[in-house]
Amino acid sequence: MSFRKIHALLVLGLSCALALSACGGGETRVEAGDREQILHWGNGAEPQELDPHIVTGVPEHHIIIALLEGLVLKDPATLEIIPGVAERWEISADGLIYTFHLRADARWSNGDPVTAGDFAWSWRRALTPSLGNLYAYMYFPIRNAEAFATGKIDDFDQVGVEVLDEHTLRVTLNHPTPYFLQLLDHYSMFPVHRATLEKHGDPFQRGSDWTRAGNFVGNGPFVLAEWQLNKVVAVDKNPGYWDAERVRLNGIRYYPVENVSTEERMFRAGQLHVTGSIPPDKIAVYRKESPELLRTEPYLGNYFYRFNLDVPQLADPRVRRALAMSIDREQIVEHVTQGGQIPAYAFTPPDTLGYTAPPAFAHDPEAARALLAEAGYPGGQGFPPTELLYNTSEGHRKLAVAIQQMWKRELGIEITLNNQDWKVYLDSVNNGNYQIARAGWIGDYVDPNSFLDMWVTDGGNNRTGWSDPRYDQLVLECAPRAPDRERRYRCFQEAEALLMEAMPIIPVYFATRNYLTRPSVRGMPPNLLGYPLFKQIHLQAAD
C-alpha cells in the first residue's frame, strides 16, 4: 500500500483513536489552525521552565522567543541581526562601546514600558551567582561581567552596563567581540519584568511561579495563555506588542511529544503543522512518497556523549579515548540516524564561519583495545559497571543501543542504559548524577566560540569536571584579543586539539535537521540554527 493511501486511512483513524480532533468528517486540528491562524508545533519535550535565565534547552527556546524579545532579532533567511526592542544602535570605532536606543512604543504585556533599566536589572539578575544561570558566560565579553558572576566583585555598577536614560543603554566590552550582537538575540540575555518576579518571591533564586500562565508578563509578540503539564503550552497574540500589526499568527500551541514515532503519527493525523524531528526509518519513505512534507536542512550542531570525570574508571583519558575510537560513526549515520548526518572526529562543526578543526582521532578498534589494556582493563576485564544516560527518545535509545553493542564487541565492556524524562535528565546532568550522558549542542550564534567556550573551567554547560588552564587561556584571552580572524582561529584550533586530546566528551556526528512541515506554513525559511521568527510565520489555508 502506498504512503499516500496509508496517510488517508490514518488521518481519520488516528484522529479518533487519539481523541485529538473531530471524527465523522470534521476538520482536523491543522485545517482549523490554518483557518484560525493557530500554529500547532511539535516541541519534543515538556519544557523544564520558561525562565530565560535558567533554561538551556531547545524546547524551552521555542516558547521563550515567542514570549520575550531582546534588544535585537535575527533575520531567519540570512541570520543577519535586525532591530528588536532596540530600534538602532551605534558601535564605537574601537568596537568596545555599544549604545542602544530602545523603542518608545515597546511595552510589557501588562502595558508597562520596556526601558533600558529593565535590561540592566535583568542582566544583573542573570549574572547573580545565587541564580545559578548556566548561560552566565554569554555575558562575559561585557566589562567585569565575569567578575560579578563569579563573586569577585559584588557591585553591579562596576559592570559595563549603563542606563543613560529611559530608552538608552550603553554597554562596554572587555575587548572587541565580533559576535556580540548575535549574543543579544539569545534568550539568556532577554529582559524579564522586575515587578512580576518580585511579586512572586526572591527574583535571585530559582523556584518562583512567575512563569506560570496568569503570572507571566512578557514583551514578545505572544502572551502565555495556558500551560498544561505534559499536554500543551498555549500562547496567543500579544495586542500590545510594538510590531503587533505585522504578527499574522493568532496563536501557537506547543505539544511536548517525546516519542518521535507518536509525533510523526500526530502529523499524519492532521494534528501538527511542524514536527521537531522524524523517525529515521521514515525519512526515505517521505522522501519518496511525500517530499513536499519533508525538510532536510544543514544544522549548526553536533551530537556527543559527556563523561563525568569524577567516575574513577572514566577519569583516565586512555579509557575515554578508547571509548571514542571504538565507535563506528559511518555505520551509525548510515544505518541508525539515516538523515544525512556527518561522522564527527572533532567537536566544532566544519566550516563554522570558515573555521574547521582537523580530525583529532579515527575509528580504530585495535588501537582502542590497546589503550584500554594500558589503562588496566585488557579485553574489558575488570571494567566497573558503567551507565549511559539519555533523555527519553526513540532516536536516542537506538543510538545508545548501537554504541553499547560496539563497546561490547570491540572492547569487551558492559554498559547499561538508563533513560529519563527531559526534566529529570537535565537535573541529573546538571548535578553530576551520571557517568556517561548523551548530549547535543546547537550553536547559539554562527561562530566557533559558541562551541568552544562551553568547555572552559566551571563553564555552566561544561558539567564534566574537566579543566585545563591552557585551554581557558586560549578561549578566553588568546582568541578574543587576536588581531585578525586567522590568528583567532589558530587559538581555537589549538584549544580544540587540547579538548580532543583530553576527550572529556565523545563527538558522534554533526547534525542535520530532519523534520516535517505542512505546505500551509509560510515565512519559515531554512537556516543553520533552526531559528524560527514566529512573528513572520503565517498559515496559508488551502483554497
The CATH number of the domain holding residue 351 is 3.10.105.10
Residues 285, 310 within the same domain: no
The separation between the first and the last C-alpha atoms of the chain, rounded to the nearest angstrom, is 28
Name residues whose C-beta falls within 8 Å of residue 516's C-beta, 6 or more positions apart in sequence: 264, 267, 272, 274, 275, 278, 286, 293, 294, 295
Residues 93, 171 within the same domain: yes
Residues 358, 461 within the same domain: yes
Tell whether 134 is covered by a domain: yes
Q: Could you tell me where the beta strands, DSSP code E, fall in 354-429?
A: 386-391, 415-420
Residues 527, 506 within the same domain: no
The set of long-range contacts for 4-13, using a CB threshold of 8 Å and a minimum separation of 24, is: 4/289, 4/290, 6/268, 7/268, 7/290, 10/265, 10/268, 10/269, 11/268, 11/269, 11/270, 13/269
Q: d(Cα 469, Cα 472) in Å, to the nearest integer?
A: 5
Q: Dihedral angle at the C-alpha atoms of 196, 199, 204, 206, nearest 10 degrees? A: -90
386 burial type by CB count under 10 A (0-12 exposed, 13-18 middle, 19+ buried)? middle
Task: Starting at the earlier edge strand, list the strands of the sheet with 251-255.
Answer: 38-42, 251-255, 232-237, 222-228
Q: Which amino acid type is present at position 237?
A: K
Q: d(Cα 322, Cα 372) in Å, to the nearest integer?
A: 6
Residues 374, 346 within the same domain: yes
Residues 149, 241 within the same domain: no
Please give the pLDDT value at position 8.
38
Contact between 77 and 527 (Cβ < 8 Å): yes
Task: Starting at the earlier edge strand, list the strands of the sheet with 342-343.
Answer: 342-343, 505-516, 294-307, 436-442, 386-391, 415-420
Contact between 172 and 57 (Cβ < 8 Å): no
Tell whether 154 is covered by a domain: yes
Q: Choose one of 199, 223, 246: the last residue of a domain.
A: 199
Backbone angles phi, psi at 389, to 5 degrees: -100, 135
Tell whether 219 is covered by a domain: yes
Please give the pLDDT value at position 437.
98
Residues 231, 261 within the same domain: yes
Residues 268, 193 within the same domain: no
E strand or H helix at 106: none
CATH code, 186? 3.90.76.10
CATH code, 236? 3.40.190.10
Q: How many CB atoms neighbour CB 428 within 10 A?
A: 16
Strand partners, 101: 88, 168
Tell whether 54 is covered by a domain: no
Tell whether 392 is covered by a domain: yes
DSSP-derived 3-state class of residue 280: helix
Q: Choose one of 171, 199, 227: the last residue of a domain.
A: 199
Residues 506, 519 within the same domain: no
Contact between 518 and 293 (Cβ < 8 Å): yes
Torsion region of 12: left, alpha or beta (phi above 0 gives left; psi -120 to 50 gives alpha) = alpha
Strand-pair category, 505-516 with 342-343: antiparallel
Residues 191, 218 within the same domain: no
Name residues whose C-beta falls within 8 Å of residue 455's C-beta, 6 or more positions apart in sequence: 462, 464, 466, 471, 475, 499, 504, 505
Residues 360, 498 within the same domain: yes
Burial of 175-210, coded b for 16+ CB within 10 Å and e otherwise, reads ebbebbbbbbbbbbbbbbbbebbeeeeebeeeebeb
Please give the pLDDT value at position 543.
60
| pLDDT, averaged in runs of 10, over the chain (543 residues) | 37 38 69 97 94 95 98 95 98 97 98 98 98 95 96 97 98 94 96 98 94 97 97 98 98 95 97 95 94 94 97 97 98 94 96 94 97 97 97 93 98 97 94 96 94 93 96 95 93 98 98 96 95 97 69
Tell whether 56 is covered by a domain: no
Q: Is the pTM of this model over 0.85?
A: yes
Tell whether 64 is covered by a domain: no
Strand partners, 387: 416
Tell whether 208 is covered by a domain: no
Q: What is the DSSP string of 295-321?
A: EEEEEEEEEEEEE-TTSGGGSSHHHHH
Domain that holds residue 177: 69-199
Residues 508, 520 within the same domain: no
Number of domains in the chain: 3
